[in-house]
Amino acid sequence: MRATGGRDVMTNEQAIDSSTSEQINQEVVLAAQKRRLNLKKALVVVVLYMAAFWTLVPMYWVALTSVKSLRDLAHIPPRLFPTDPRIDAWVTIFERRILENIVNSLVVAGFATIFCLLVAVPAAYAATRMRLPLRFVGIVVALMGLVALLPPIASAIPLYLLGSDLGIIDEKYTLIILYTVLNTAFAVWVLRGTFMDVPVDVEEAALMDGDTRFGAVRRILLPLIFPSLFSIAILLFIFNWNEYIIALYFVNSMSTMTLPIAIQAQIPQHELDWGVVSAAGTIAVVPVLVAAFTLQRFLVRGLTFGVAG
């Protein structure tokens, strides 16, 4: 909070200084201020480094653990760097066909994301751009907001029982449908905010210029919101990539097992190697890190849209 007001107060002080002090005196004061400024900057940066450390250290530690030998693992106190790095855990994890899990996760999360957008974009468009009765739109949007809050475990049991009655447990397409459906409300809610940020004029101009509604959406609206759309897609993908509870109920075999379940599977019961768990955890975090650093701008926008839009 000091930092927020900092600049303004600083200029204020400077103004007072320049009007009341002598020339030499003023230089001294300015130098002191500069030092204070540097000190403040240093402080802020140090705190931020600490925060970054706090954020990243578990990931470093897990990656480290994945290459430690059993002896290193048993060493007290824990070694900060491996003395005898081994890739056994990584070999094991790939022998356990974690690649298949990754492919499953990619397929399920990818398709679910695409389908979710295919369902949600028209709905958000209709809710913001077409002349439906306001009351109706209000009810739909409020409902969507509530559903976005629904804890997945609450719908997991009924959906599981429904799924088992229909005999569609343990199918990739079931997961895809469920992920699509579970995220639709959230996606509509967020997309609605995005659409509301684009002035309706531009689309109307396209209509006036002789475009169809669909054409206006395709040629004008979608290109305009593409960055947001992209970040929402990334967000949905990450949700799906991480989804755990539904998968817990609906995954029965290697052919559907997604990464989070596979990782939990590595938590040893009669197994010996923390390294394997660590390796699995590292694999799961890699795409997240990649996404965070390559798509930073998109991501920050996307993550804040739903509520800040």
Partner 1 sequence: MSVPQDISPMSGADAHRAHVQPPAREGIWAEIFRYRDNRVALALIVPSLLALILVQLYPILYTGWLILTNEKGVFIGLANLTRLTSDTIFRGALIFSLKMAIVVVPVSLLLGLGLALLIRSEYAGRKAIWISILIIPLMVSEIVAGTMWKIMYHPTLGLVNVPLTLLGLEPIIWLMKANTAFIALCIVEVWRISPLAFLLLYAGLNQVPRDIYEAAAVDGATRWRAFWDMTIPYIRPMFSIATILLFVWSTRTIGTIAATTAGGPGRATWNLSWYIYGMSFQRLKPHYASAAVIVMLLMTYIAGAIFVKYLWVERKQR
Partner 2 sequence: MRKIYLVAIMALLMAVMLSACQAPPPPTAAEAEPEDVTISIITAQGPLADGLVALIPQFYEETGIKVAVTPFPWTTFFEKVISLARTRSGEFDIIFADDPWMPNIVDGGLAVNLEEAYGATRDPDVPDISYDVFSWPPPYGPIPQDFQTGEPSQLHALPIQGNVIMFYVRKDILDERGFAPPETWDDVLKIAEAVHCPDCDPPFYGYNVRGTAGSDALALLWSLGGGIFDDEFNVILDNEAGCAALTLYERLSKYLPPGGNTYGTTEMVAEVISGRAMMGIGWPGDAYAAFEDERDSDVAGKMHYMPLPAASPGAPHVSMMGHWGLVLNAHSKNKDAAWKYLEWMHYNQQHALDYAHAGGIPFRESVFNDPDLIETKPWFPAQFEALMVPPKWRPRSTQATGISLAILGPAFSAVGAGDMTGEEACQQSGAEIRMEMEGVTN
Partner 3 sequence: MAEVKIVGLTKYFGDTCAVNHLDLVVKDGDLVVLLGPSGCGKTTTMRCVAGLERPTYGDIYIGERRVNDLEPRERDVALVFQSYALYPHFTAFDNIAYPLRLRKTPKEEINRRVTDVAELLGITHTLERQPGLCSGGEQQRIALGRAIVREPVVFLMDEPLSNIDALLRVYMRAEIKRLQHELGTTMIYVTHDQVEAMTMADMIAVMNQGTLQQLGTPGDIYDVPANNFVARFVGSTPMNFIPGRLRQKDSQTVHESDQFVIPVGEEMAVRASEMCPDGKCTLGIRPEDIRFTMSDEGRNQAQVFLLEPLGSETILDIEKEGLLLKAKDVATTQIRPGNTLSLSFDRFHLFDDATGQAIR
Interaction site with partner 2 (CB under 8 A)? 69-71, 73-74, 76, 96, 107, 111, 115, 118-119, 122, 160, 164, 167, 169-173, 176-177, 212-214, 248-249, 252-257, 261-262, 264-274
Residues 73, 68: Cα–Cα separation, whole Å: 6
Note every long-range contact of 39-46, with CB atoms under 8 Å and residues 24 or more positions apart, other chains counting. Answer: 40/2, 40/3, 40/6, 44/3
Residues 38, 152: Cα–Cα separation, whole Å: 48
Query: Which of 229, 238, 267 is closest to 106 using CA atoms?
Result: 238
What is the contact mask toward partner 1 in residues 56 to 95, using x (rule: CB under 8 A)?
A: xxxx-xx--x-------xxxxxx-x---------------
- What are the residues binding partner 3 (CB under 8 A)? 131, 134, 199, 201-202, 204-212, 215, 220, 223-224
- Residue 176 interacts with, from partner 3, partner 1, partner 2, none (CB under 5-8 Å by kind): partner 2
- Residue 291 interacts with, from partner 2, partner 3, partner 1, none (CB under 5-8 Å by kind): partner 1
- Six-digit token string for 204: 């109307």
Q: Which is nearer to partner 3, 27 or 204 (CB)?
A: 204
Q: Which is nearer to partner 3, 80 or 134 (CB)?
A: 134
Q: Which is nearer to partner 1, 186 or 220 (CB)?
A: 186
Judged by CB under 8 A, the number of residues near partner 1 is 106
Kind and range of the H or E run holding 6? helix 2-20
CB 305 within 8 A of CB 193: yes
Residues 96, 22: Cα–Cα separation, whole Å: 77
